Amino acid sequence: MTNIKLFIIAMIAASTAQAQDSTFEQRAAALEKKMTLEEKVSQMMNQSQAIDRLGIPAYNWWNEGLHGVARSGIKATVFPQAIGNAATFDEEALQKMADMVSTEARAIHAEYKKQGKRGIYQGLTFWSPNINIFRDPRWGRGQETYGEDPYLTGRMGMALVRGFQGDDPRYLKITACAKHFAVHSGPESTRHTFDAEISPYDLWDTYLPAFRTLVVDAHVASVMCAYNALGGQPCCGNDLLMTDILYNKWKFHGYVTSDCGAIDDFYRQGGHQTNPDAQSASADAVIHGTDVECGSSYRSLIDAVKNNLIPESKIDSAVTHLLEIRFRLGMFDRNVPYDTITMSQVLTPEHKAMALRMARESIVLLKNENNLLPLDPNKIHKIAVLGPNADDSIAVLGNYNGFPDHTVTVLEGIKSRVKVYYEKGTDYVGNDTPQVSQNIKDADVIIYVGGISPRLEGEEMPVKIEGFSGGDRTSIALPKIQTRYLQELYKTGKPVILVLMTGSALSTEWESAHLPAIINAWYGGEAIGTALADVLFGDYNPAGRLPVTFYKSVDQLPPFDNYSMEGRTYRYFKGEPLYAFGYGLSYTTFAYSNLSIPTTQQTGQTLPVTVTVTNTGDRDGDEVVELYVRHPGGKTIQALEGFKRIHLKSKESKTITLQLDPRRLSQVDEQGNRTEQPGKVEIFIGGGQPGKDSQSAEVTLNGDVFRLDP
């Protein structure tokens, strides 16, 4: 670096230090005013260019950290995939996990900065979480979400945002991003052309609440607009989503990025083709508030300004948003509190312990006939461990993942406890059912670790085999070869335990009817082998809950590309599921009593719901308390409006109170207006959806109609 460049950077640093009393927005605006049009546009693509004369280093806005720092090239802690984190129903734990991810992110950024590197996956602006509603289990990217419920998605998403962005009153630790805004959940094959046509009711009742939670309540620093169109306009240039809702109604103050290549879709052949060329498309997106493009179409903005397609003031506004974020991250300041974080805080024992905790908490026990589980290692001489996921250290990492220094596979976890015979048995898919060997027949217990893999489901993948297409699934059934093999194993007469790894719901009708024990382990991250062994042998009592409905087959679902919520998710599905949203078993039992709520309540006030939970069994364990609201005559069957994960020792009781604010007691009308209406409301609380083990009560809401902000 030349002495002149060093002098310029020192002068800029001195001037920014003198401006510490100014707001970040003022500092950003002042810096933007010093730029030429060409320099401003150079800041509006994910790979923004250095402006040496102003002391602005190059910066790449694209980074990923959905469940651990991803793709950085430096090993980092890998926690369970997002769908597994949702299954914990533990927002406090998720926020702690996210704080650890942001610590590792800061350390890795500092390491690259020390090397003079400022490339992709090396920055502090993370494009996570994915808070789209997982409306259909065929969507391969559903694994990245927090499930099918808007309230659960919003709460878990907010926990991640708070863990990422930190609690410093001045500086952001890293930035989170609410994506993909909005009405986006497959199919992957048509996402660049798809025009979602939905009712105002579904938009405001299902697709937008989690985004509102992150923007309005969690103050997320960025939003990513989606590939698809809504009502004829691409999401990144959408009047309703961007102008009316995000900026005008929600008063969003942060930056908006396009999804990668989404601006190209405005004009390219095979895209939406709502605009004739890159200039028009780029101007359209920026006018609607898309500040940075993941791509290169924005290079045309220079000519777009010169050709009067967009006023330069819109460019100024976008650049100011982007610079403000960099100021809030402390990139131009000294003595930023997060600058003390080093590589010694990556892959720490504490972080590894948290990966194990999240993996344990994510595991859902679906079936346990005659209390086969937990296994007693003192009574078992030999276990046969089989299946394509038993010794796969990649599948457990999910997608949008990093790489740890060591992954404990299920085989490794079980081998640390008992004598094991292992063979793969089957692949994920195929035609030839292998023979059951004598070694398997001689085992006391058979554990088959199957399911699917992120090699088969994910983002826009070149996969086309039976049951899978382009990253999505055409069937939700466990692949046929696995069912056939399980049927052969069942014939041995030995207990067969099925362990599923998946990013979404799997239909296991035969298995659920015949096998004595089934566990869902998702893509559980680097510690899943230890966590699963802990569950199998009783060192940990499972309490995970399903964040999605497990349907019996695709025959129970509407067409994949139909975005109406009718007949979808537990809130609107009227059939009988295989396993319900919110379902999960334990090795102990819990009882609910003493439900207490006011019998009448004025609209516009918060309703306290108090209940006593008792562990009536002989084992300590966690319980997930789930609170559902039902409006007689309403469109939803019922809706989760509160939850809390608690730990109870054997025979211990705890009294907890959950608060239902007016939004939790409100309804959306056909025009999309949200109000709390006077009348009767039913409240249910228990360890799952309303049923025989739930406590229930009715409250009468009195007073005027209470209107809520959208």
**How buried is 372 (Cβ within 10 angstroms: 0-12 exposed, 13-18 middle, 19+ buried)?**
middle
Closest residue by Cα to residue 160 from 124, 123, 129, 130 = 129
Q: How far is CA 604 from CA 588, 633, 707, in A?
A: 39, 21, 8
How far is Cα 457 from Cα 346, in angstroms, rounded to an integer? 29
Give me the residues paired with residue 614 across strands.
591, 653
> Tokens 């589980």 label which residue?
373
Nearest to 619 by CA among 584, 593, 652, 643: 652
Cα separation, 476 vs 551, in Å, equals 8
- Tell me whether residue 105 is exposed, middle or buried, using C-beta atoms within 10 angstroms of its C-beta: 0 to 12, 13 to 18, 19 or more: buried
Please classify residue 485 by burial: count the beta carbons closer than 10 Å to its beta carbon, then call 0-12 exposed, 13-18 middle and 19+ buried.
Answer: buried
- For residue 340, list its beta bridge partners: none
How buried is residue 696: exposed, middle or buried, by Cβ count under 10 Å (0-12/13-18/19+)?
middle
Please say whether the beta carbons of 130 and 180 come within 8 A.
Answer: yes
Active site residue 457: yes
Residues 6+ apart with CB under 8 A from 42: 48, 49, 51
The C-alpha atoms of residue 415 and residue 606 are separated, in whole angstroms, by 52
- Choose, from 259, 526, 534, 622, the residue flagged as catalytic: 259
Is 284 labeled as catalytic in the residue annotation? Answer: no
Q: CA-to-CA distance for 140 and 647, rounded, in angstroms? A: 33
| CA angle (479 as vertex; 141, 527 as ends), nearest 5 | 55
Q: Name residue 496's amino acid.
A: V
Burial 527-539 (b: 16+ CB within 10 A, else e): bbbbbbbbbbbee
Residue 679 CB neighbour total at 10 angstroms: 15
Q: Which of 148, 264, 361, 457 is catalytic?
A: 457
What are the residue numbers of the active site? 259, 457
